[in-house]
């Protein structure tokens, strides 16, 4: 079954576009807002996750949907305790993402899913980019920030994102060949970007991918 991974430059519109794709395809959108649910299901202290997010360099939010909340994949690997360090947390994150991919019909935003799923036959991996001025404008609009704050957030979060992805040690996250499509949302509006992603998923499904 298909699963869509959307990685992005911070502020390029991944959540908005991902929601459009999920709504149109009837998929579940997997993003940061279910952090508390995952922490509860996996037995991880939320404050520890937030600390790891800061240390690792990105919103290292673990996530899972209610439909797989009882799945065995969420059980800790042998030797893992409830108070995770960064390496152990990455291991849990990988297991969760692989479990989501096995069930399919999900749109996963960030979290290194495109690296974890790069060899998964049902994964459609998308990279959203945009000019800095447009990413800053998105942050100003959607997070109610002034320009100076938005510029600092865009720069800081983009650096953190790349550090986090590099920490997986799986593949060069900047390699364009690991993506099905790279979409510049400075040139392509969100509706058109969502249309393109949906068409890729539908084509892959028809071909039995």
pLDDT tens digits along 128-137: 999 999 999 9
Give bridge partners of residue 7 from the DSSP assignment.
127
Q: Is residue 20 predicted with pLDDT exceeding 50?
A: yes
Give bridge partners of residue 64 from the DSSP assignment.
none
Comparing 55 with 200, which gets the higher pLDDT? 200
Q: What is the pTM of this model?
A: 0.74
| Domain ranges (residues) in the chain | 3-206
Say how far apart CA 191 and CA 20 lie, in whole Å.
8
32-39 long-range contacts, CB within 8 A, separation 24+:
32/59, 32/61, 32/63, 32/109, 34/63, 34/64, 34/65, 35/61, 35/62, 35/63, 37/63, 37/64, 37/66, 37/69, 38/62, 38/63, 38/64, 38/96
Work out the number of other CB atoms within 10 angstroms of the CB of residue 69. Answer: 14
Locate tokens 């995952």: which residue? Answer: 38
CA atoms within 13 A on the CB side of 156: 9
Handedness of CA 19, 32, 162, 13 (dihedral sign): positive
DSSP code at position 65: -
Say how far apart CA 24 and CA 44 lie, in whole Å.
33
pLDDT at 110: 84
Q: Is residue 167 predicted with pLDDT exceeding 90?
A: no
Contact 171, 178 (CB under 8 A): yes
pLDDT at 57: 45
Give the class (CATH, top level) of 3-206.
alpha beta
Average pLDDT for 141-169: 82
For 93-149, the pLDDT digits (tens) are 777 788 888 888 999 988 788 888 888 888 999 999 999 999 999 888 888 889 999
């Amino acid at each position: 079954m298909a699963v869509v991974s959307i990685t992005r430059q911070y502020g390029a519109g991944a959540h908005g576009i991902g929601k459009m794709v999920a709504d149109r395809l009837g998929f579940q959108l997997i993003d940061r807002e279910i952090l508390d649910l995952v922490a509860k299901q996996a037995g991880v202290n939320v404050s520890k996750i937030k600390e790891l997010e800061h240390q690792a360099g990105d919103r290292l939010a673990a996530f899972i949907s209610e439909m797989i909340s009882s799945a065995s994949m969420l059980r800790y690997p042998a030797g893992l305790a409830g108070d995770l360090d960064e390496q152990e947390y990455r291991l849990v994150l990988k297991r969760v993402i692989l479990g989501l991919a096995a069930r399919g019909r999900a749109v996963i935003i960030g979290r290194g899913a495109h690296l974890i799923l790069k060899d998964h036959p049902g994964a459609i991996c998308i990279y959203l980019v945009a000019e800095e001025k447009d990413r800053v404008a998105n942050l100003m609009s959607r997070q109610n920030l002034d320009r100076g704050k938005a510029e600092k957030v865009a720069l800081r979060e983009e650096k953190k994102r790349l550090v986090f992805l590099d920490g997986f040690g799986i593949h060069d996250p900047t390699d364009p060949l690991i993506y099905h499509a790279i979409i510049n949302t400075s040139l392509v509006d969100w509706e058109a970007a969502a249309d393109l992603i949906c068409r890729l998923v539908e084509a892959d499904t028809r071909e039995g991918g």
